[in-house]
A = this chain, B = another copy of it.
């Protein structure tokens, strides 16, 4: 019984730590934003009638009637590229950000990193989907990249153990 209380205290401490709570909040937001890309892709696939799996077009009829919907569409491909770019950038943010949050940074510094990254990735999504003229997308990508790099530098400085 005492062991159980110790355990729950220990876990409560983690979620009660301000830096960890901040990370949990922003990490959940960017991961949800990334998940949203699935819905956007599905929306374009359905409205543009552009599918990739034969079983997805069966409701449009048999044979040639359905086959013509097995095609690529620029809006679908654009949403898919935005989704892949999220994976390429939000995965390192989550991994490095978690290690950074556990390395004992100042709350103000951590919040600055998390907020700038989150803002940059939301801007990146709008820049990709509208699309905005360059360098809108490029800059929003670079800002998120630089924030993750800065957190990685702090992690390596705190944890370096080769």
Which A residues fall within an 8 A CB radius of B?
A: 3, 6-8, 10-22, 24-25, 27-29, 31-32, 34-35, 37-38, 52-53, 55-56, 58-59, 78, 81, 83, 87-89, 91-92, 94-96, 98-99, 102-104, 131-134, 137, 145, 148-149, 152, 155-156, 158-162
Residues of B within 8 A of A88 (CB): 34-35, 37-38, 83, 87
B152–A102 touching, CB < 8 Å? no
Q: Choose one: B95, B103, B161; the contact of A31 (CB below 8 Å).
A: B95
A55–B11 touching, CB < 8 Å? no
Known: A24-B155, A91-B91, A145-B38. A14 touches B102 (CB 8 A): yes
Chain B nearest CB: distance from A124 CB in Å?
13
Residues of B within 8 A of A104 (CB): 8, 11-12, 15
How far is A39 from B14 in the complex, measured between Cα atoms in Å?
Answer: 35
How far is A148 from B31 in the complex, measured between Cα atoms in Å?
Answer: 10
Residues of B within 8 A of A52 (CB): 81
A13–B24 touching, CB < 8 Å? no
